[in-house]
Chains A and B, each alone.
Chain A
Amino acid sequence: MLELLKDDTEVYKQFVQNPSFKRFVTDMVFGLTSGSATPTTDKRPSSRPLRGKNEPLEERFAQSADPRDRLGFVLLGLLEKTRRITLGDAIRAAEKVGLGDDDALAAVERLARPQTASLRRFYVDRSGAQARIVSAEEVRERSAKAPDNQHVWASVIEVVWAANEADAIAGGTA
């Protein structure tokens, strides 16, 4: 461990001085070496460097006792990198920390609240050459009608949370 950390004095300092961070790193290393990257403790390091416009929110979520908030913290990290979160991203992030699909949806919806990250849920139709945003009203109407081909239609609509339409459309999937 010391060999791994000695090149980064700040990380080493945190490892030595911050018990929470030490536990996080130890659990992470254990998780990686035992085939699971999931830290096993509830606590998260309070010294994790936080960046970006959601910094106060990240800090609140990182220190929350609520596992859905802590999942939100992970999703905010992803948002910082990709500017969008898909339903699949949230489900996979939840799986990694031992949470279910319900927690994934609840956690990402918490980021859609005005006092959090104010994300919006978008439906992106990727069936054509060019992706387009489908309105919630169209989703409601088509889902309510339950036509025989609903399965086909709903399977080419991507569910994304982002700050705006451009970010929602950008990227693409699988």
Chain B
Amino acid sequence: MTKVDPDSSLERLLGLLEGHNSNLKDLLLAKTEQDFIGATEGAIERAMKTIENGSKEYAALNEPGLSHLLADCLNLMGWRATAETNNNGHVDVVVECAFGRHWKYLGECKLHKGYQYHVDGCEQLLGYSTGREPRAFCMDFINATDAFKKMTKLRAEMDEKLPLKQKAAGADHSIRGGFVTSHDHESGAVVEILHLGCSVPKP
């Protein structure tokens, strides 16, 4: 038996993760994909609050910087998240359980530049979704204090124009300012998109 450095032990890692996520057990105990989605959305909400609380510090970050920060927050809570800038300049986010489950929650992050830019991001997201993942998220980083107003306006415009084969008007979500739309995917599946606005006003 070789003695393990306490700072390198799994015990230390679990302690670190629990320090950021009192609901780590929800993730570890997730039995279904719906459980996983619920736990992941809880983590995304906590990550958004962390970013919003530090918005003075983070407002200077660009799209990739903010997305890496989101991925860092999720990694510190027991997920395995990667954020990679794609060819269109948006950032693809892939969120998985760090402890051996195969479910994925795909996402797209970008600075808020209005309806069309957001829809372009959603199109990108649906493009790299296989249809097997029932839900994905599209997060706008909003450089303004009226983030909820901007999300309400975005939702109204999406409900009016029903872009990307949106099936019906958006539905409320428990994350404040967020809403969910359903889209016919080319695979034949219906894919839901959770639209989120993270407020990072410049001081």
Residue positions of A touching B, CB distance < 8 A: 66, 68, 86-89, 91-92, 101-102, 105-106, 109-110, 112-115, 121, 123, 126-129, 131, 135-140, 143-144, 146, 151, 154-160, 172-174
Q: Are A159 and B9 in contact (CB under 8 A)?
A: yes
Q: Are B5 and A86 in contact (CB under 8 A)?
A: yes
- Chain A nearest CB: distance from B73 CB in Å? 8
Q: Does B3 contact A (CB under 8 A)?
A: yes
Which range contains the number of B residues in contact with the other chain? 20 to 34
**Interface segment out of the listed B98-106, B124-132, B161-169:** B98-106
Residues of A close to B101: CB separation below 8 A: 137, 140
Q: Are B68 and A110 in contact (CB under 8 A)?
A: yes
Q: Does B16 contact A (CB under 8 A)?
A: yes
- Chain A nearest CB: distance from B164 CB in Å? 27
Nearest A residue to B25, CB-CB: A144
Nearest A residue to B99, CB-CB: A140
**A66-B68, A140-B28 provided; 8 other pairs, C-beta below 8 A?**
A87-B9, A102-B16, A110-B68, A126-B4, A156-B1, A157-B11, A173-B3, A173-B5
- Chain B nearest CB: distance from A147 CB in Å? 13
Given the known inter-chain contacts A105-B16, A157-B9, A159-B8, please indicate yes or no for A174 contacting B3, CB distance below 8 A: yes
Q: Are A105 and B84 in contact (CB under 8 A)?
A: no
Nearest B residue to A68, CB-CB: B72
Q: How far is the CA of A139 from the CA of B82 in the complex (A)?
A: 21
Q: Are B11 and A173 in contact (CB under 8 A)?
A: no
